[in-house]
Structure 1
Amino acid sequence: MGFIDQTDAGKWKAFWREPSGTQRSKTFRTKKEASTFLAQVELSKSSGIYVSPHAGKALFGPHAEEWMKSWNTERTTMARDESIMRTHVLPKWSAWQLGKIDHLSVQTWLSELGEGRSRATVAEAKRLLSGVMRSAVNNRLIGSDPTAGARIPKRRERDTDERLLTREEVRQQLLPAIQPARYRALVACGAFAGLRWGEAAGLCVDAVDVDAGLIHVIRTVTEVAGHVEFKPFPKSRAGRRSVPIPGWLVDDLREHIREHDQGMNGLIFTNEVGGPLRRTLFRSRVWRIALVRAGLLGEVSEVDGKWEAVWKTADGEVDAEVFSKYDQAVRMVARSEFGGVRFHDLRDMFGTWLADDGVPPHKIAVVMGHENVATTYQHYIRKTDDHDAVRRSMGDE
Structure 2
Amino acid sequence: MPNNQGRRRRFGSVRQLKSGRWQVRYPDPSTGQLRSAEETYAAKRAAEVALTHIEADISRGQWADPEAGKVFFGEYAAAWLKDRKLAARSRERNESVIRLHLLPTFGARPLSSITTAQVRAWRTECLTRTGEPTVVKAYQIMRAILNTAVDDELIRRNPCRVKGADRYDVPERPVLTVAEVYAVADAMAPRYRLLVLLAAFTGLRFGELASLRRRDVDTENGALMVQRSQAEMQTGALFDKAPKSDAGVRPVAFPTELLPDMKGHLDAYAGTGRDGHVFLGPQGGRLRRSNFRDDWIKARKNAGVTADVHFHDLRHTGNTLAASGASLRELMTRMGHSTPRAALIYQHMVNGRDREIADRLGSMIRETRGDVDS
Secondary structure of 2:198's counterpart equals helix
TM-score where L is the length of structure 2: 0.80
CA–CA distance in 2 between the matches of 1:33 and 1:363? 67
CA distance, structure 2, for counterparts of residue 263 and residue 168 of structure 1: 32
Contact 1:263 1:276 in 2 (8 A): no
Q: State the match for 1:260 in structure 2.
A: 269
Gaps of 5+ in 1: 299-339, 374-397
Higher strand share: 1
| AA of the residue aligned to 1:352 | T
What residue in structure 1 maps to residue 337 of structure 2?
A: 370
| 1:276-329 CA-partner distances (Å, limit 9, x unpaired) | 21212211x32222222223358xxxxxxxxxxxxxxxxxxxxxxxxxxxxxxx
Aligned mates of 2:170, 2:335 — CA distance in 1: 25
Distance 1:251 1:24 in 2: 81
Q: Work out which of the residue numbers 187, 195, 209 in structure 1 matches 2:218.
A: 209
Q: Is 1:199–1:221's contact at 8 Å kept on the other side of the alignment? A: yes
CA contact (8 A) 2:201 2:255 kept: yes
**Other-structure match for 2:200:** 191
Q: Are the equivalent residues in 2 in contact too, given 1:213–1:250 (CA < 8 A)?
A: yes
Q: What amino acid sits opposite 1:130 in the alignment?
A: R
Number of paired residues? 325
Larger relative contact order (Cα-Cα within 8 Å, sequence gap ≥ 6)? 2
Change (3 A) 1:154 1:198: closer
Q: Does 1:107 align with 2:116?
A: no
Q: How do residues 48-87 of structure 1 correspond to structure 2 at under 5 angstroms?
A: 48-87=61-100
Note if contact 2:120-2:162 (Cα within 8 Å) is conserved in structure 1: no
Q: RMSD in angstroms over aligned alpha carbons?
A: 2.4
Q: Distance in 2 between matches of 1:187 and 1:100?
A: 52
> Are 2:177 and 1:166 aligned?
yes
CA contact (8 A) 1:107 1:150 kept: no
| Equivalent residue, structure 2, for 1:291 | 300
Superposed CA deviations along residues 117-145 of structure 1, whole A, max 9, x for unmatched, are: 33322221111111221222222222100
Matches within 5 A, 1:370-389: 370-371=337-338
Q: TM-score, normalised by structure 1?
A: 0.75
Structure 1 residues 137 and 9: alpha-carbon distance in aligned structure 2, compared to 1, 3 A threshold: same
> Quick check: 2:73–2:109 contact (8 Å CA) kept in 1?
yes
> 1:175, CA displacement in angstroms?
0.8
**Pair 157,143 (structure 1): closer, same or farther in 2 beyond 3 Å:** closer
* 2:12 counterpart letter in structure 1: G
Which residue type is aligned with residue 247 of structure 2?
A
1:263–1:274: 8 Å Cα contact kept in structure 2? no
Structure 1 position 157, deviation (Å):
8.0
Distance (Å, rounded) in 2 between the aligned partners of 1:228 and 1:192: 26
Q: Which runs of 5+ in 2 are unaligned?
A: 1-10, 341-374
| Partners of 1:110 and 1:153 within 8 A in 2 | no
Aligned ranges 1:196-275 → 2 under 5 Å: 196-225=205-234, 226-231=236-241, 233-262=242-271, 265-275=275-285
Matched, 1:343 2:298: no
Q: Does the Cα contact within 8 Å between 1:220 and 1:234 map onto a contact in 2?
A: yes
Aligned letter for 1:24?
Answer: S
The one of 24, 28, 37 aligned to 2:50: 37
Q: Distance in 1 between the 2:95 and 2:190 partners?
A: 36
Say whether the 8 Å CA contact 1:240–1:369 is kept in structure 2.
yes
What's the offset of the Cα at 1:5? 0.7
Residue 13 of structure 1 is matched in structure 2 by 23
Rg (Cα) greater in structure:
2
The secondary structure found in structure 1 opposite 2:248 is: coil
Q: Distance in 2 between matches of 1:188 and 1:97?
A: 53
SS in 1 for 2:85: coil
- Residue 155 and residue 130 in structure 1: after superposition, are their counterparts in 2 closer, same or farther (change >3 A)? closer
Is residue 2:110 matched to residue 1:97? yes
Question: Residue 76 of structure 1: CA displacement?
Answer: 1.1
